[in-house]
Amino acid sequence: MTTVVLIPGLLSDDIVWQPVADALSADFAIHKADLRQGTSIDGMARDLLGATDGPLIAVGHSMGGRIAMEMAHQAPERIAGLVLANTGHHPRREGEDAKRQAMIDLGHESMEKLADTWLPPMVDPARVSDETVMGALRAMVLRADADMHERQMRALLGRPNASAYLGEIRCPVLLIAASQDGWSPIAQHEEIAAAVPDSEIAIIEDAGHFAPVERPDEVVAAISTWIARFR
């Protein structure tokens, strides 16, 4: 049986992909990635490959998408397909170090302050006042700690340049972009799609960077339709 590896992003855990796990568990083995101790993107990719057997469909959100791409780069023979949601492919950008260091410092000062600063720009502006969505995301962030946040931020600063190998990815790829995602905009996903031979894009309306949490039904529907070829 093909295993679906569900990979969350920065400061994230199982809640991001739980609706997808519920929808796919009848047809696929499900492996939920635990990134709490990870220190590098390539290392987390290796760990996930080592923790699973046989063919995989790697489903990644944000940082998790970068890990999924790296899994395909490291072991293309294992990866049957990729789902990349609200993610990016660029190497470290000029000025990024200082911005991420400021967030690292804020996390060490107070995870509550980090959550209150980081989360609002990560969702559709119309959802900032949605107590259910924001409450779930804030609780998720507070389940993490400042050391984990720092490890993941430094992993992102040292990330591989996925742009260099996108054209080598031969498996089918579903890109999930969101209309209100200012962090990983639709154009960024279009760049990935242009580089990957077998790709398609699903655009989730009225969602920001946390589309799988903001619009779980729409994300589940997009993945379920695409993944039917592997059943």
Provide the whole-model pTM: 0.97
State pLDDT tens for residues 145-192: 999 999 999 999 999 999 999 999 999 999 999 999 999 999 999 999
Integer angstrom CA distances of residue 107 from 24, 111, 123, 147:
35, 5, 19, 8
As a whole number of angstroms, the distance between CA 82 and CA 216 comes to 18
**Structure confidence by residue, pLDDT tens digits, 19-47:** 999 999 999 999 999 999 999 999 999 99
Q: Report whether 172 contacts 225 (CB < 8 A).
A: no
Tens digits of residue pLDDT in 63-77: 999 999 999 999 999
Q: Token pair for residue 14?
A: 């199982």
- The Cα 176–Cα 85 span in angstroms is 4
Max CA distance (Å), the chain: 47
Give the pLDDT of residue 88. 95
Instruction: Give the C-alpha separation, 186 to 165, whole Å.
Output: 20
Q: In the chain, where does DSSP find H-type helix?
A: 18-24, 41-50, 63-74, 96-109, 111-118, 131-143, 146-157, 186-195, 211-214, 216-227
Residue 1, judged by CB atoms within 10 A of its CB (0-12, 13-18, 19+), counts as exposed
Sequence-distant (6+) residues with CB within 8 A of 67 are 7, 33, 35, 41, 44, 45, 48, 58, 60
Look up residue 112 and give its two tokens.
């509550």
Bridge partners (DSSP) listed for residue 176: 85, 202
The per-residue pLDDT for range 100-136, each reduced to its tens digit, is: 999 999 999 999 999 999 999 999 999 999 999 999 9
Phi (first) and psi of residue 25, to 5 degrees: -65, -20
Domains of the chain, start order: 3-93+153-230 (3.40.50.1820)
